[in-house]
């Protein structure tokens, strides 16, 4: 593995603290309900794993994998489902769990796609948000951290599949 330059943006302790806060807010908002968390593979896996262990409400989990058509993933806006859910979400309280919202194209597509399946409620939690990079309007219901327009890795986020295992979120130079 080549050594790229890394700079810590969010340390593991800060991430953990913020996830506890998010879990408290989500548990309060959905009090008395059971929710279905849909993790977006692969980046959101670590966030989802940590988040659910702090939730005080019953949950189910499922996963989807999506990818953009073509090489230019940031501008095509066409998203393909590579792995779909194992169950119907009709009538369920659904929370999409994403690692990062960048241009907004992925979640914009995913939200509309899942909405058309008739969930009772549909919301989005993202660990990270780069609001300055939007190409389409998209506002997550819950957000861990708004971050500057830098490419970040670690805590599930990758660069060419590397660095997902890093406990901190780092800027890749
Ligand atoms: P969007 O469709 O442009 O919002 O892109 C969302 C996806 O792009 C995320 O789910 C990530 O997989 C990827 N992505 C965007 N920014 C970063 C980054 O800084 N590091 C790693 N992956 C990123
Ligand atoms: Mg992702």
Mean residue pLDDT of the chain comes to 94
Does the CB atom of residue 154 touch ligand 1 within 6 A? no
Q: Which distant-in-sequence residues (6+ apart) come within 8 Å of 83 by Cβ?
A: 41, 63, 64, 65
Does the CB atom of residue 151 touch ligand 1 within 6 A? yes
Which residue out of 50, 102, 129, 168 is catalytically annotated?
102
The percent of residues above 90 in pLDDT, for the chain, comes to 89
pLDDT, tens digit (0-9, with 9 covering 90-100), for 53-89: 999 999 999 999 998 765 554 556 788 999 999 999 9
Does the CB atom of residue 101 touch ligand 1 within 6 A? yes
Q: What is the mean pLDDT of residues 39-59?
A: 98
CATH architecture of the domain 13-149 equals 3-Layer(aba) Sandwich (3.40)
Distances (CA, A) of 50 to 14, 67, 172: 13, 24, 23
* pLDDT at residue 13, rounded to an integer: 98
Contact call for residues 6 and 171 (beta carbons, < 8 A): yes
Q: Of all atoms in ligand 1, which is nearest to the CA of residue 106? A: 2
* pLDDT at residue 42, rounded to an integer: 96
* pLDDT at residue 5, rounded to an integer: 86
Per-residue confidence band for 4, with pLDDT thresholds at 50, 70 and 90: confident
Residue located nearest, by CA, to atom 16 of ligand 1: 102
pLDDT, tens digit (0-9, with 9 covering 90-100), for 107-128: 999 999 999 999 999 999 999 9
Q: Which residue, 30, 39, 83, is CA-closest to 61?
A: 39
Tell me the whole-structure pTM to 2 decimals: 0.94
Distance CA(79)–CA(66), nearest Å, equals 7
93 labelled catalytic:
no
* pLDDT at residue 70, rounded to an integer: 53
In the β-sheet with 169-172, what is the strand arrangement from edge to edge?
Answer: 6-10, 169-172, 152-153
Q: Which is more confident, 71 or 48?
A: 48
* pLDDT at residue 68, rounded to an integer: 75
pLDDT at 148 over 80: yes
Q: Which distant-in-sequence residues (6+ apart) come within 8 Å of 170 by Cβ?
A: 6, 7, 8, 9, 152, 153, 154, 163
pLDDT at 140 over 70: yes
* pLDDT at residue 17, rounded to an integer: 98
* Residues, beta carbon < 5 Å, ion ligand 2: 43, 99
Question: Quick count: other Cβ atoms within 10 Å of Cβ 78?
Answer: 12
Q: Of all atoms in ligand 1, which is nearest to the CA of residue 40? A: 10
């Amino acid at each position: 593995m080549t050594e790229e330059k890394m700079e810590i943006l969010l340390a593991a302790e800060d991430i953990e603290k913020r996830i506890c806060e998010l879990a408290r807010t989500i548990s309060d908002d959905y009090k008395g309900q059971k929710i279905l968390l849909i993790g977006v593979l692969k980046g959101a896996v670590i966030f989802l794993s940590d988040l659910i262990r702090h939730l005080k409400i019953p949950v189910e989990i499922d996963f989807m994998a999506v990818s953009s058509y073509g090489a230019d993933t940031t501008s095509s806006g066409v998203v393909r489902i590579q792995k779909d859910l194992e169950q119907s979400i009709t009538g369920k309280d659904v929370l999409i769990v994403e690692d990062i919202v960048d241009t907004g194209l992925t979640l914009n597509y995913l939200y509309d796609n899942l909405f058309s399946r008739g969930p009772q409620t549909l919301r989005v939690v993202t660990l990270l948000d780069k609001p300055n990079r939007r190409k389409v309007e998209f506002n997550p219901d819950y957000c861990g951290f708004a971050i500057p327009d830098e490419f970040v890795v670690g805590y599930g986020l990758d660069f060419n599949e590397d660095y997902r295992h890093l406990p901190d979120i780092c800027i890749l130079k």
